């Protein structure tokens, strides 16, 4: 399938950066830097910045996402945020299963699945992150591991709900390290992700799935990564905090 028919999505993952006050400033810069993009543009901010981000992006081309979500709708889960709380604010997207959550906050494939189901049920669009560590790549198990992560994350997700799922391939060794996967490595795993989704949901669903690459994507390497047939967008950490760099990546995706 012609990749132009798929939705290209560039999402910024701000991680634990920017106060609400600083958020307003950066969104102001982004609104002037990113105009008439040729792709969907999302900024995922800390929970505390979401009200400000939703407000500041109104009427612009920027969509707002959260960086995590709990799988229960409400209850005794001190410190957690539920999917209905996010949609009530006007948040449209959420990142689930980022490797930093898996590494530092004991996120498992099973909780990624529960969060994905809860977020979809509330009407959010979900960016599910998968990817291997350096050790796993060296052991030659990247494809098996990523297939497993995708299969478990999508358990119970209907074909209809899959339309609201994006899968982000983020090799852990490339995140925040300045070490990017080569465009061929990114292509290889993004294609494997599309294959497993095809096995689960059929070829048309796989053809329509947006698959992102993430891991030290920047203004210099975005065009090459995004030129690959199965790389439909990017999940951008560090470079999403600089309006010019982020705008350059958005431009590369819109070409
Ligand atoms: P990075 O982060 O672009 O800073 O490597 C990507 C991510 O963690 O989503």
The alpha carbon of 38 and the centre of ligand 1 are apart by a number of angstroms equal to: 22
- Residue whose C-alpha is closest to residue 27's, from 67, 66, 55, 65: 55
Distances (CA, A) of 197 to 3, 15, 94, 157, 165: 16, 28, 20, 11, 11
> pLDDT tens digits for 10-53?
999 999 999 999 999 999 999 999 999 999 999 999 999 999 99
Among candidate residues 37, 28, 30, 36, the one with its CA nearest the CA of residue 12: 30
Query: Could you report the per-residue pLDDT of 138-184, keeping only the tens digit for each?
Result: 999 999 999 999 999 999 999 999 999 999 999 999 998 888 899 99
Summarize the confidence of residues 85-111 as an average pLDDT. 98
Per-residue pLDDT tens digits for 185-231: 999 999 999 999 999 999 999 999 999 999 999 999 999 999 999 99
Which residue owns the Cα nearest ligand 1 atom 1?
237
- The pLDDT assigned to 44 comes to 99
pTM: 0.98
Instruction: Name the token pair of 166.
Output: 């994006």
Q: What is the mean pLDDT of residues 245-250?
A: 98
98 catalytic, yes or no? yes
Q: In this structure, which residue's CA is closest to atom 6 in ligand 1?
A: 237
Q: Work out the mean pLDDT of the chain and round it to a whole number.
A: 97
> What is residue 1's predicted lDDT score, i.e. its pLDDT?
66
Ligand 1 atom 2 nearest Cα: 237
Does 13 contact ligand 1 (Cβ within 6 A)?
A: yes
């Amino acid at each position: 399938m012609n990749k132009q028919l798929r939705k290209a999505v560039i999402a910024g993952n701000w991680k634990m950066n920017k106060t609400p006050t600083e958020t307003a400033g950066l969104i102001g810069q982004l609104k002037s830097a990113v105009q008439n993009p040729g792709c969907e543009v999302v900024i995922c901010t800390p929970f505390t910045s979401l009200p400000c981000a939703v407000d500041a992006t109104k009427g612009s081309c920027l969509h707002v996402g959260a960086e995590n979500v709990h799988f229960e709708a409400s209850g005794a889960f001190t410190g957690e945020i539920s999917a209905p709380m996010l949609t009530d604010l006007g948040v449209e997207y959420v990142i689930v299963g980022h490797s930093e959550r898996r590494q530092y906050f004991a996120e498992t494939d099973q909780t990624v699945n529960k969060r994905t189901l809860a977020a979809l049920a509330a009407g959010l669009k979900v960016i599910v992150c998968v990817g291997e560590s350096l050790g796993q790549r060296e052991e030659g198990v990247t494809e098996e591991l990523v297939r497993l992560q995708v299969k478990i994350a999508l358990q119970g997700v209907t074909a209809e709900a899959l339309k609201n799922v994006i899968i982000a391939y983020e090799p852990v060794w490339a995140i925040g390290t300045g070490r990017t996967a080569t465009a061929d490595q990114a292509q290889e795993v993004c294609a494997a992700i599309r294959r497993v989704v095809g096995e689960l949901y059929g070829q048309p669903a796989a053809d329509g799935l947006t698959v992102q690459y993430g891991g030290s994507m920047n203004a210099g390497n975005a065009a090459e990564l995004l030129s690959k047939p199965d790389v439909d967008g990017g999940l951008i950490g560090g470079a999403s905090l600089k309006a010019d760099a982020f705008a350059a990546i958005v431009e590369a995706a819109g070409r």
